[in-house]
Amino acid sequence: MRFTVIGGGPAGLGAAISVKRALGPRAEVTVHDRRDPGQDGFGLILSPRTVARYAALGFAWAQEVAGSTASWGGLAVLSAREPVTVAGHPARAVARSLLVGAMRREARSLGCALVDGAEADEADFPDADGVVDARGARHRAFTLAEVEAGTEEVHHVWYATDRRFPCLTFVLVETGAGVLTAHTYPYGPDRSAFIVEGPASAWRAVLGGRRGPDDGARLRAAVRSAFAEVLAGHELLGAATRLRSFRTRTAPRWRTGRRVLIGDAAHSAHFSVGSGTTMALDDALSLAEHLRDAPDVATGMDGYAAVRRPETGRVQALGRRSAAWWASLPARWSELSEAELAWSLVTRTGQGTTSRLRVDNPSLHDELVARARKRPVAGAGGARAVRYPEDPGAAAALAAPGPVEVLVDRLDAATRVGLVDLLERTAEHDVLRGRRSVALRVRPGDRDWAEAQLLAGRVSAVGTGAP
């Protein structure tokens, strides 16, 4: 069977390796990559679980990369105000060049052919039995895609720096027209990622004027200047020429004839959840397993899509939530202390409990409790009770003025993400200003989670007992 893979990023190389491992000599695999200049330049967060899982499955690239990742625990939020660190949250990152290099070596050793340097398209390969389209998020496959709720007005640029930050570090700079945030994390002995994101207004404030021919130089100079203190003379590396906007997208059809989409070409999730590479690798593995077990290529491709669409959809929901948190940061920034902001960040996708916080970060826990106690609280008399997620009127009740009690009977992952999103979009602002009472009533076993929302400033009170 002849397979052509278009795109030699993690998804395409993952597909080539996994298909060869699954089908052996029955499969002839060629990977075509145009090798965009500078595309391998930066570091990617890869969860320790992903690397360990692939290493345990015998993937040579994972065994090679395992020793070259930068690992850390904790996260830090730095600004002109007080710096805050939150312990826990172990993570790893690897230079994309190392990951792609190791994957290319494994693909070659398994007998895949790698063809570099030219654009490729399905029509170029009339003899292929299957075409795996792994051309990434910027490819025009997305002109076919449904475009989901985006963060149109938020822009980012991806650099690296030769300053090594000790852990995942968010550097917040107030521009006078909104906050710019550098998302940084170490991925090598003298390297950190440096992704700067913020609203269009903040970018206008640091860039000034209209766009010109030397946008790349102007952009870099503006970022260097805005983050001069934290860069402390270190270099900003990369060839970015313009700002980009991120959108969460899902291609409506993942298979058309003999062509199947995988990785970012099929779905994208905001970079702040650091999951795009893992999704790409898992797509590739799933596709290969379905191709191995199915009676024909089309059935195998459809089986892969049926399994992976809901799984990647769950990660995209987290990405969308995280992107929304970052997009609404300017509104929250002036109302939360640095400690509250850090906790709001940690809990933005519905994760985090107060008992974990108390164990990992006792002094931060105590500070957050003290701050929550000092917040002004509006009267709760005559509160309207709504059940989440069952009650279709819950969103409208939270969006309207007046006290509300939200009753949560079943707290699963989807409820956590959905409720955090709803509270932030509707009530948070008034709760923080003491203008409104929004109480959360949960089962006793979920109290910890509800208290995490109280400390983050999303609700004004927590109760337990039969909702």
Of positions 92, 104, 135, 321, contacts ligand FAD by CB under 6 A: 135
Q: What b/e string do you get for 339-365 counting C-beta neighbours within 10 Å, with b at 16 or more?
A: bbbbbbbbbbbbbbbbeebeeebeebb
Nearer to ligand FAD among residue 187 and residue 449 (C-beta)? 187
Least separation in angstroms between residue 218's CB and ligand FAD is: 19
Least separation in angstroms between residue 35's CB and ligand FAD is: 6
Instruction: Give the distance between the most distant pair of CA atoms in the chain.
Output: 72
Residue 192 is a binding residue for ligand FAD (CB under 6 A): no
Least separation in angstroms between residue 353's CB and ligand FAD is: 25
Of positions 161, 250, 277, 460, contacts ligand FAD by CB under 6 A: 277
102-121: contacts with ligand FAD (CB under 6 A):
119-120
Alpha helices in 81-214 (DSSP H): 96-109, 200-207
Q: What is the identity of the amino acid at 42?
A: F
Least separation in angstroms between residue 70's CB and ligand FAD is: 12
Do 231 and 208 meet the contact criterion of CB atoms below 8 Å apart? no
Least separation in angstroms between residue 315's CB and ligand FAD is: 10
Least separation in angstroms between residue 14's CB and ligand FAD is: 7
Of positions 77, 132, 134, 160, contacts ligand FAD by CB under 6 A: 134
The enclosing H or E element of 46 equals strand 43-46
246-275: contacts with ligand FAD (CB under 6 A):
263-265, 271, 274-275
Nearer to ligand FAD among residue 5 and residue 394 (C-beta)? 5
> What tokens were used for 130?
């299957």
Region of 198-206, 232-240, 276-284, 313-321 interacting with ligand FAD (CB under 6 A):
276-284
Binding marks (x or -) toward ligand FAD, 139..158, rule CB under 6 A?
x----------------x-x
For 380, phi and psi rounded to 5 degrees? Answer: -105, 5
Rounding to the nearest 10 degrees, give the CA dihedral for residues 359, 72, 342, 269.
-120
Nearer to ligand FAD among residue 22 and residue 31 (C-beta)? 31
Residue 280 is a binding residue for ligand FAD (CB under 6 A): yes
* Locus of tokens 């029955």: 26
312-371: contacts with ligand FAD (CB under 6 A):
none
Is it true that the peptide bond before 37 is cis, omega within 30 degrees of 0?
A: no
Of positions 195, 200, 294, 369, contacts ligand FAD by CB under 6 A: 195
Least separation in angstroms between residue 231's CB and ligand FAD is: 18
Do 204 and 176 meet the contact criterion of CB atoms below 8 Å apart? no
Q: How many residues bind ligand FAD, per CB under 6 A?
A: 34
Sign of the alpha-carbon torsion through 282, 285, 287, 293: negative
Nearer to ligand FAD among residue 13 and residue 419 (C-beta)? 13
Alpha helices in 26-159 (DSSP H): 48-56, 60-66, 96-109
Nearer to ligand FAD among residue 62 and residue 440 (C-beta)? 62
Compute the C-alpha angle 277/279/284, nearest 5°: 95
| 308: three-class secondary structure by DSSP | helix
Which residue is at the shortest CB distance from ligand FAD?
276
How, if at all, do strands 438-442 and 43-46 pair? unpaired
Where does residue 33 rank: exposed (0-12), middle (13-18), buried (19+ CB within 10 A)? buried
> What tokens were used for 249?
């997208």
Binding marks (x or -) toward ligand FAD, 212..251, rule CB under 6 A?
----------------------------------------
Of positions 130, 178, 186, 276, contacts ligand FAD by CB under 6 A: 276
DSSP letter (8 states) at residue 192? E
Least separation in angstroms between residue 256's CB and ligand FAD is: 16
4-63: contacts with ligand FAD (CB under 6 A):
6-12, 32-36, 39, 44-45
Rounding to the nearest 10 degrees, give the CA dihedral for residues 275, 280, 283, 284.
-140
> What tokens were used for 197?
């994101």
Question: Measured between alpha carbons, how far is 393 from 427 in angstroms, rounded to an integer?
Answer: 15
Residue 308 is a binding residue for ligand FAD (CB under 6 A): no
Q: Using CB under 6 A, list all residues that contact ligand FAD.
A: 6-12, 32-36, 39, 44-45, 119-120, 134-136, 139, 156, 158, 195, 263-265, 271, 274-278, 280
